[in-house]
Amino acid sequence: MDAIMNSSPIIPAVAVPEGAGVTVYRTIGSPALRDHDPFLLLDHISSNNPDDYSAGFPLHPHRGFVTFTYIIDGHMAHQDDMGNSGDLGPGSAQWMKAASGVIHSEMPQQENGLLRGFQLWINLPAANKMDHPEYQEYSAEAFPIVETPDYTLKVLIGRFADTHAPIRDNSTDVTYFDVHVQPGKHFQHRLPAGNNSLLYVFEGSGQFNAQIVLPHSLVILDTDDHSFDFIAGKKGTRFIVISGKPIHEPIARYGPFVMNSREEIDQAMRDFQTNTFVRDRAWIKRNR
């Protein structure tokens, strides 16, 4: 990954099929960037064409990490083998700590129109990979918004200045912002020292370190400098900014399982095949 960061900080998303045939735009988790510790995957779904999303994501397992799903437009329903159900509409989000094991589905609840959002996979330290699962769902109104003459910022995870999101990640101190910058204006931000950080543009274009950044592009932010200045293009720019503390542990992954060794991956596969995958049904559910 060092070679990628030294040669270019900008990584274009690649369109890949996921689930039962959903088209997603992937940056982290692609051949160009396998991971960006503690982040394992970043998928962006954005389409007006129901052929791109209507098949959804039928029942599938996860173990060893957290998924954070943020819906910007459209409607997505969640169900899992613990009996939880979720209803994600515009601006809402879901934090699911799969940890020891979850089997769930994510299905669009619309036959046409725009479906747009993100899913981020956040790794868990080895000590927490077999924790109890947790499920939390938040309405759009739960997330605070910071407004300035230059930009509007929604705080989804962590904090921005003195504004705190309802979601905090105690393992890797993740922060996650949705930022809309006005045409020609600046967004300046200082990153936590030692974090791995990124910026993904999904509306408009802008300029970062004298380079033009187009939609569906990921910028790896320089953690040595700790601060950056992004200038929006003539039509404005909208992007997400994500930062987290690296775990610095071995990563073994196979499909929906992310552990620390091949032996743990093999065990996850055996558990799934023998119907012993869900280790603990003491599921924590909080709807917000």
Q: What is the pLDDT of residues 135-181, one digit of tens each?
A: 999 999 999 999 999 999 999 999 999 999 999 998 999 999 999 99
Q: Is the pLDDT of residue 182 over 50?
A: yes
Q: Using CA atoms in the order 116, 90, 83, 23, what is the torsion angle rounded to 10 degrees?
A: -10
Question: Region 49-71: what's the mean pLDDT?
Answer: 95
Q: Is the pLDDT of residue 279 over 60?
A: yes
Q: How confident is the model at residue 6 (pLDDT cuts 50, 70, 90)?
A: very low
The verdict on whether residue 60 carries a ligand-binding annotation is yes
Sketch out the chain's domains with CATH numbers.
12-286 (2.60.120.10)
Q: What is the mean pLDDT of the chain?
A: 91
Residue 75 is given by DSSP the state -
Asked if 26 and 32 count as a contact pair (C-beta separation under 8 A), the reply is: no
Q: What are phi and psi of 111, to 5 degrees?
A: -100, -15
Q: Is the pLDDT of residue 288 over 60?
A: no
pLDDT tens digits, 218-260: 999 976 777 899 999 999 999 999 999 999 999 999 999 999 9
The verdict on whether residue 104 carries a ligand-binding annotation is yes
The tokens for 276 are 């012993």
